[in-house]
């Protein structure tokens, strides 16, 4: 069973209670929803854009069938999902961002270079272009920008050039092919802590799934969906995500302290109190049991206005 990350901290921060309504914006295999319902949540609405993840959640949460609703939707559609159900406010929201262990473990999804598979990378396989299709249609400058911006790869230009040269000979359709090209371009010295293909694969995954697009707006909408003293918990897995989460939550907290108008006066934004001034990180025991947790950063706030 795929275990959720920082689950005890999420439950402690959200404080689920009988009769409370909560949203798990990234259901995955259902771990956080399971924990919230077990801790006493009255109802959980669980979203995921991956239909296979929803199937896994449905199986895991079958004993909570009367209390759980699973919805095929992007977490950024939170406001629309609640509006469609006539829900004005909820007591808590959790969002576990990024790719799940379940997706990484399935070679046919194309997220990981550790097993050869089709170069797909879509979290929602019912829509959008695959990574192979996006790479094929992009020029070298675009690829370099994506790899540098989303992967923070210093050798982005060299990697992009190598990919474009390979594409001139044949389409790239497999993860192993792409990983080999990237490793040769970056240089696979023994001193490296991570596989040289890691940053490029991260960049392409973020690009394919538009992972950073609208993340700040989602956080504002999630806080807006909370009733007074409701709580939001967000788990990020890389610095780009965590930076957006931190900056947005601190801006909202700054408004609560009377220091800032977040939206420039266009619309009154919600205000929050920080529950985690520094991110909560997994301890060594959790990392040993669940290596995916290593880079997790949990931040949480409470709505105050």
Q: Are both 117 and 55 inside the same structural domain?
A: no
- pLDDT of 296 over the 90 cut: yes
Give the whole-angstrom CA distance, residue 154 versus residue 143: 13
Q: Would you place residue 192 in the very low, low, confident or very high pLDDT band (cuts 50, 70, 90)?
A: low
Q: Are both 169 and 243 inside the same structural domain?
A: no
Rounded to 5°, angle at Cα 239 from 233 and 241:
50
Query: How many domains is the chain partitioned into structurally?
Result: 2
Q: Would you place residue 189 in the very low, low, confident or very high pLDDT band (cuts 50, 70, 90)?
A: low
Per-residue model confidence as pLDDT tens digits over 23-56: 999 998 899 999 999 999 999 999 999 998 899 9
Q: Would you place residue 197 in the very low, low, confident or very high pLDDT band (cuts 50, 70, 90)?
A: very high
Are 218 and 78 a contacting pair, CB within 8 Å? yes
Per-residue model confidence as pLDDT tens digits over 163-184: 999 999 999 999 999 999 999 9
Q: Are both 109 and 205 inside the same structural domain?
A: yes
Q: What is the pTM of this model?
A: 0.89
Give the whole-angstrom CA distance, residue 146 versus residue 212: 12
Angle between helices 7-14 and 31-38 (to 10 degrees): 50
pLDDT for the residue 110 = 85
Cβ-based neighbours of 205, under 8 Å, separated by 6 or more? 99, 111, 121, 131, 211
C-alpha distances (whole Å) from 16 to each of 4, 30, 74 are 17, 16, 23
Q: Examine residue 2 and state whether it is found in any structural domain, yes or no.
A: no
Q: Are both 186 and 226 inside the same structural domain?
A: no
Per-residue model confidence as pLDDT tens digits over 106-142: 788 888 888 899 999 999 888 899 999 999 999 999 9
Q: Which residue has the higher pLDDT, 301 or 258?
A: 301
Query: For the domain that residue 126 is a member of, what is the CATH number?
Result: 1.10.150.170
Range of the domain at 110: 104-209
Residues facing 68 on adjacent strands: 44
Q: Examine residue 1 and state whether it is found in any structural domain, yes or no.
A: no
Mark 279-301 as b/e (b = at least 16 C-beta within 10 Å).
Answer: bbebeeebeeebebbebbbbbbb
Q: What is the mean pLDDT of residues 253-274?
A: 67
Q: Are both 277 and 135 inside the same structural domain?
A: no
Per-residue model confidence as pLDDT tens digits over 277-287: 999 999 999 99
- pLDDT of 11 over the 50 cut: yes
Last residue of a domain, one of 155, 177, 209: 209
- pLDDT of 244 over the 60 cut: yes
Last residue of a domain, one of 209, 239, 260: 209
Are 273 and 266 a contacting pair, CB within 8 Å? no
Are 23 and 94 a contacting pair, CB within 8 Å? yes
Q: Would you place residue 267 in the very low, low, confident or very high pLDDT band (cuts 50, 70, 90)?
A: low
pLDDT for the residue 188 = 63
| Percent of the chain's residues with pLDDT above 70 | 92
Q: Are both 78 and 17 inside the same structural domain?
A: yes
Q: Are both 170 and 93 inside the same structural domain?
A: no
DSSP one-letter string for 236-281: E-SHHHHHHHHHHHHHHHHHHTTS--TTTTSS----EEES-SS-B-
């Amino acid at each position: 069973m795929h275990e959720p990350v920082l689950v005890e901290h999420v439950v402690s921060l959200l404080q689920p209670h009988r009769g409370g309504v909560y949203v798990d914006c990234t259901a995955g295999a259902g771990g956080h929803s399971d924990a919230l319902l077990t801790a006493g949540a009255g109802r959980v609405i669980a979203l995921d854009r991956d239909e296979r993840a929803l199937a896994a959640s449905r199986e895991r949460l079958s004993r909570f069938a009367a209390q759980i609703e699973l919805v095929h939707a992007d977490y950024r559609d939170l406001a629309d999902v609640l509006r469609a159900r006539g829900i004005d406010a909820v007591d808590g929201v959790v969002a576990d961002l990024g790719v799940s262990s379940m997706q990484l473990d399935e070679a046919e999804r194309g997220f990981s270079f550790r097993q050869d598979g089709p170069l797909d990378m879509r979290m929602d396989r019912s829509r959008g272009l695959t990574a192979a299709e996006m790479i094929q249609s992009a020029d070298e400058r675009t690829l370099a920008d994506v790899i540098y911006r989303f992967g923070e790869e210093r050798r982005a230009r060299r990697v992009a050039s190598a990919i474009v040269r390979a594409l001139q000979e044949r389409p790239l359709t497999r993860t192993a092919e792409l990983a080999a090209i990237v490793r040769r371009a970056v240089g696979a010295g023994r001193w490296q802590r991570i596989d040289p293909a890691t940053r490029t694969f991260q960049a392409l995954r973020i690009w394919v799934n538009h992972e950073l697009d609208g993340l700040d707006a989602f956080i504002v909408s999630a806080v807006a969906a909370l009733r007074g003293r409701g709580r939001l918990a967000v788990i990020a897995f890389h610095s780009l995500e965590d930076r957006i989460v931190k900056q947005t939550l601190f801006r909202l907290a700054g408004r609560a302290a009377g220091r800032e108008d977040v939206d420039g006066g266009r619309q009154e934004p919600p205000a929050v109190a920080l529950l985690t001034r520094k991110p909560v990180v997994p301890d060594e025991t959790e990392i040993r049991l669940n290596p995916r947790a290593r880079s997790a950063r949990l931040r949480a706030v409470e709505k105050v206005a």
